[in-house]
């Protein structure tokens, strides 16, 4: 027997009489943790899961998909709850990157009838990379005992996170042949793309190949090690002193020449004898 609907009533539509599907939504619908230094703890945010439907909605499970371990869930009062319309629960989400790359994940809540609801998570790991464009820094060949060679070494942060150092020293290797003269790298944060300078002199104290390390020691991952190289050569020969008087070929002044001449032998002038011819005849 065909039963017709009563006057003024519409015929039941397909699926009518079945309970409405659960409607859950995360608030906010996505969250970006931004830039976080790698291996230095974690950031945390609290998200809400709300029933935005007209019927009660159970929460069967919460899970994270993706993220390579950079995201994890904390405390929550959502597990095993059935949320009435407009009722909500909370979930703590943590972000702690272990590499200086972007990360993304999906937070998922599962309800009845195989339904699930998601929120997008993102963040980026930050790391300072401090060093020189050319490593090692070569000072070339320098003679022992000379004034040495001085170089200005540019140190740049090529990473995506600020970094810095609290002390700069030359340590390891031929520390006596390299001297740190000046620097403006310590005690200040070096922003990504920024450059500071270190002034080093190579003054070898002996011959042979020399190698040392310039250490910029910083907090966490902010330091750097720069290799210094050079070669010590034999000392330069000393200049010869002025020639002695015996070997000097310099011209001598007339006055000096006369002062050094041997005295002349004096000539003795003898007066001639007179002969008395008269007396000479008388005596014969």
Q: What is the pLDDT of residues 41-53, one digit of tens each?
A: 999 999 999 999 9
Q: For residue 7, is pLDDT > 50?
A: no
244 pLDDT more than 80? no
Distances in Å between the alpha carbon of 253 and those of 11, 248, 249? 143, 14, 12
Closest to 167 measured CA to CA, from 112, 128, 219: 219
CA 166 – CA 106 distance, rounded (Å): 40
Q: How far apart are CA 97 and CA 36, in angstroms?
A: 7
pTM score of the predicted model: 0.69
Q: What is the model's pLDDT at position 171?
A: 87
- Integer Cα distance of 129 and 206 in angstroms: 35
**With bands split at pLDDT 50, 70 and 90, how would you rate the model's confidence at 113?**
confident
Q: Which of 55, 215, 32 is nearest to 124 (CA)?
A: 32
Instruction: Walk me through the domains of the chain, giving residue ranges and CATH numbers.
Output: 24-126 (2.60.40.10), 130-233 (2.60.40.10)
User: What share of the chain in percent tops pLDDT 90?
Assistant: 65
Residue 247 has pLDDT above 70, yes or no: no
């Amino acid at each position: 027997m065909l039963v017709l609907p009563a006057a003024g009533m519409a015929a039941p539509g397909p699926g009518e009489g079945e309970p409405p599907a659960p409607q859950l939504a995360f608030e906010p619908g996505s969250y970006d943790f931004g830039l976080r230094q790698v291996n230095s703890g974690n950031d945390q945010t609290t998200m809400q899961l709300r029933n935005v439907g007209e019927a009660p909605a159970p929460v069967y499970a919460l899970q994270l998909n993706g993220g390579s371990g950079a995201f994890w869930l904390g405390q929550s009062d959502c597990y095993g709850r059935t949320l009435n319309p407009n009722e909500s629960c909370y979930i703590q989400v943590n972000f702690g990157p272990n590499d200086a790359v972007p990360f993304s994940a999906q937070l998922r809540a599962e309800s009845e009838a195989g339904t699930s609801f998601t929120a997008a998570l993102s963040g980026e790991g930050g790391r300072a990379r401090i060093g020189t464009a050319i490593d090692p820094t070569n000072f070339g060949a320098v003679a022992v005992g000379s004034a040495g060679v001085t170089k200005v070494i540019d140190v740049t942060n090529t990473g995506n996170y600020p970094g810095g150092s609290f002390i700069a020293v030359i340590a390891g290797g031929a520390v006596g042949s390299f001297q740190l003269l000046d620097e403006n790298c310590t005690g200040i944060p070096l922003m990504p793309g920024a450059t500071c300078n270190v002034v080093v002199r190579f003054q070898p104290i002996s011959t042979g190949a020399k190698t040392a390390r310039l250490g910029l020691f910083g907090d966490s991952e902010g330091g750097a090690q720069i290799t210094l190289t050079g070669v010590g050569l034999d000392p330069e020969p000393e200049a010869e002193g002025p020639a002695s008087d015996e070997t000097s070929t310099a011209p001598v002044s007339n006055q000096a020449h006369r002062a050094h001449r041997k005295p002349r032998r004096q000539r003795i002038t003898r007066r001639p004898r007179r002969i008395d011819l008269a007396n000479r005849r008388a005596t014969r």
